[in-house]
Amino acid sequence: MARPILLAVDDDASVLEAVVQDLRREYGSTYRVMRATGGQAALDTLAQLKTRQEPVALLLSDERMPGMTGVDFLERARELYPEARRVLLTAYADTDAAIQAINSARIHYYLTKPWDPPEEKLYPVLDDLLEDWQAGYQPPFEGLRVIGHRWSLRDHRVRSFLSRNHVPYRWLDIAGNVDALNLLKERQLDPEQLPAVLFADGSSLVDPEPDALAARVGLSTQAAQEFYDMVVVGAGPAGLAAAVYGASEGLRTLVIEPEAPGGQAGSTSRIENYLGFPSGITGADLGRRAHIQAARFGAEFLTQRATGLRIDGQYRFVQLADGREVSSHVVLLALGVHYRKLEIPGAGRLTGRGIYYGAALVEAVACKDEEVYVVGGANSAGQAALHFAKFASKVTMLVRGEGLSVTMSKYLIDEIGRTSNIVLEPKTQVLEAVGEERLEALKLRGPQGEYQVPATSLFVFIGAAPGTEWLPPCILRDEKGFLLAGPDLRAEGKLPEAWREEREPFLLESSVPGVFVAGDVRHGSVKRVASAVGEGSIAVQFAHQYLAGF
Ligand SMILES: Cc1cc2nc3c(=O)[nH]c(=O)nc-3n(C[C@H](O)[C@H](O)[C@H](O)COP(=O)(O)OP(=O)(O)OC[C@H]3O[C@@H](n4cnc5c(N)ncnc54)[C@H](O)[C@@H]3O)c2cc1C
């Protein structure tokens, strides 16, 4: 298989040689390093590579070149290789142009010259970028295949699970696909019983439950120990931050999460306002990085759902969906929120068959050149619309209010304004989802009255609710189910009866000592990645204080 390519571009022969040597030294065994002496020559090279279907991972271009600037080259190169990481090499004086280029040419990073020593200034940046590229790269494929129906909820769940856990697979839609039928026949599988997951070793799973699939693709579903210092429930930004800090500070930490680490952020196409990522980072990349970081410090991850919490003296037992339980002194509830369902006729029947909650990024490719509807007017809806606009011919945003200005951040509104295939339908409500086997049309009510539009995909972002009903009543919550912690436990100056300690609850401590709460699930929390990360890390400090009392 051809090694992916790193392309360096500079008109100055000695600089180009130095860059190429540095790239070869570090990446030569995994990547092929190529060079071009100008923007046009580099575009010609890329066009040839494209015809030969060769993968390009990174473009590293100098800014000041005669004929075509680095920014112009990177912008044009994006049309040929949109997924390649784009890095601008620039003199200090051109820093402003480089920052502008983050928006205009969507460059991923700029490096100022000189980049010596590369071990400090070049490789760490490129390592990160190449890791991100690798995560989305699907090499010519020998491995796992999923055969199913585009309009099946079960199929959608299997594909989402694999994607979110970064398990590479190829999906084959059974509809009219002779290859898919032949593959099923070879393995003596029934085309009526789908989805089927086919493994490279000849084995297969038919319509698997998530835990069976998790175990088969090598995700852990059983805890290695019986007792932990801290059990974190939920691996969104809050839980992952707690896992990184807890494990790095020596706490035996177990994280329980039925989905891939990343939480809601994992379904986010691009987080642009998280500190330290000037050109944004996808939620999946953030989740993957944090997961690796926490695991490196020794945190253990279980692909399981927590279904109960039992308190026995100083021990806390978290019950798991498979009937087992794990015990600890400290539990951190970082459960986040889940999407509110659309309460209209047809929505239940057509969920996963054209109606999707959350960005369901896995569906984006299936919507290629189709018209897509997005309902909701907050940031999450805006990000999804921008993401789908890259694949769909048209994205229509259905918004109840007059417009987006009250509910959405300005940077997203501006970007939507610049995207010609996104159309906004203000003061519009969805009344009914029409279709039997799959979504076929939407009944809407807008300023012009009621009308029906043909539709195949509707992505829903109409707010979120906490999933806290499985917790025992001694964990106090507000009327919407968000968990109370710290000062919020004091209603009218008194602590709840459930609180039996002499001391006041710590800042993020729930109504049960040693059970902490962080992130979106906490009453009054700011619904942002940075706040969740902050709370997850602060909770660990209180966990230490609580444990010090033993
Ligand atoms: C589409 C979208 C775009 C967004 N864009 C931005 C943005 O650009 N910038 C920004 O700052 N914020 C953004 N947000 C908000 C941000 O993602 C959240 O504020 C953040 O993810 C909250 O983190 P959390 O860890 O508290 O919860 P979550 O991210 O919700 O994670 C909670 C985790 O807990 C798990 N869980 C729940 N119940 C259980 C259980 N019983 N057992 C085990 N695990 C369980 C869930 O599976 C989930 O993975 C966006 C949100 C969405 C939906």
On the 0-12 / 13-18 / 19+ scale of CB atoms within 10 A, 240 is: buried
Q: Output the pLDDT for position 129.
A: 94
**Mean pLDDT on 111-129:** 91
List beta partners, residue 165. none
pLDDT at residue 325 tops 60: yes
Judge whether 38 and 11 are in contact, CB under 8 Å: yes
Q: How confident is the model at residue 511 (pLDDT cuts 50, 70, 90)?
A: very high
469 SS3 class: coil
Ligand 1 contact, 257 CB (< 6 A): yes
For 31-77, the pLDDT digits (tens) are 999 999 999 999 999 999 998 889 999 999 999 999 999 999 999 99
- Distance from Cα 261 to the centre of ligand 1, integer Å: 10
Q: Output the pLDDT for position 141.
A: 59
pLDDT at residue 166 tops 80: no
For a mutational test of ligand 1's pocket, the pick from 529, 531, 533, 535, i.e. the residue with the most ligand atoms closer than 8 A to its C-beta, is: 529
For 389-448, the pLDDT digits (tens) are 988 999 999 999 998 988 899 999 999 999 999 999 999 999 999 999 899 999 999 999
Q: How confident is the model at residue 260 (pLDDT cuts 50, 70, 90)?
A: confident
Ligand 1 contact, 435 CB (< 6 A): no
DSSP-assigned letters across all residues of 58-116: EEEEES--SSS-HHHHHHHHHHH-TTSEEEEEE-GGGHHHHHHHHHHS--SEEEESP--
- Distance from Cα 527 to the centre of ligand 1, integer Å: 9
Taking the model in full, what pTM does it have? 0.76
Ligand 1 contact, 88 CB (< 6 A): no
Residue with tokens 């190449």: 130
Dmax over Cα atoms in the chain, in whole Å? Answer: 76
State the closest ligand 1 atom to the C-alpha of 521, by its place in the atom list counted from 1: 26
- Distance from Cα 529 to the centre of ligand 1, integer Å: 8
Ligand 1 contact, 306 CB (< 6 A): yes
Ligand 1 contact, 271 CB (< 6 A): yes
Q: Output the pLDDT for position 406.
A: 83
Q: How confident is the model at residue 196 (pLDDT cuts 50, 70, 90)?
A: very high
Helices (H), 266-372: 283-296, 347-350
On the 0-12 / 13-18 / 19+ scale of CB atoms within 10 A, 420 is: exposed
Share of the chain above pLDDT 70, in %: 97
Looking at every residue in the chain, the average pLDDT score rounds to 91
**Mean pLDDT on 186-204:** 91
Judge whether 63 and 91 are in contact, CB under 8 Å: yes
Amino acid identity, position 422: I
Ligand 1 contact, 376 CB (< 6 A): no
More confident residue, 451 or 361: 451
Q: Output the pLDDT for position 360.
A: 62
Judge whether 301 and 235 are in contact, CB under 8 Å: yes
Q: Output the pLDDT for position 279.
A: 82
Ligand 1 contact, 543 CB (< 6 A): no
Residue 347 tokens, joined: 């929505």
* Ligand 1 atom 38: residue of nearest CA: 335
Q: Output the pLDDT for position 140.
A: 62
Ligand 1 contact, 527 CB (< 6 A): yes
**Mean pLDDT on 176-186:** 89
b/e burial code for range 49-62 (CB count within 10 A of at least 16 → b): beeeebbbbbbbbb
CA distance 379 to 377: 7
* Ligand 1 atom 6: residue of nearest CA: 271
State the closest ligand 1 atom to the C-alpha of 535, by its place in the atom list counted from 1: 26
Judge whether 425 and 453 are in contact, CB under 8 Å: no
List beta partners, residue 301. 255
Alpha-carbon distance values, 143 to 104, 133, 458 (Å): 37, 19, 31
pLDDT at residue 359 tops 60: no
CA distance 321 to 307: 6
CA distance 405 to 143: 46
CA distance 125 to 398: 39
Judge whether 353 and 435 are in contact, CB under 8 Å: yes
State the closest ligand 1 atom to the C-alpha of 256, by its place in the atom list counted from 1: 43
Ligand 1 contact, 539 CB (< 6 A): no
**Mean pLDDT on 154-167:** 84
For a mutational test of ligand 1's pocket, the pick from 164, 220, 268, i.e. the residue with the most ligand atoms closer than 8 A to its C-beta, is: 268
State the closest ligand 1 atom to the C-alpha of 359, by its place in the atom list counted from 1: 1
Question: Any idea which of 260-264, 314-318, 447-451 has the lowest mean pLDDT?
Answer: 260-264
* Ligand 1 atom 12: residue of nearest CA: 528
- Distance from Cα 393 to the centre of ligand 1, integer Å: 29
Question: Any idea which of 164-173, 244-253, 306-315, 355-364 has the lowest mean pLDDT?
Answer: 355-364
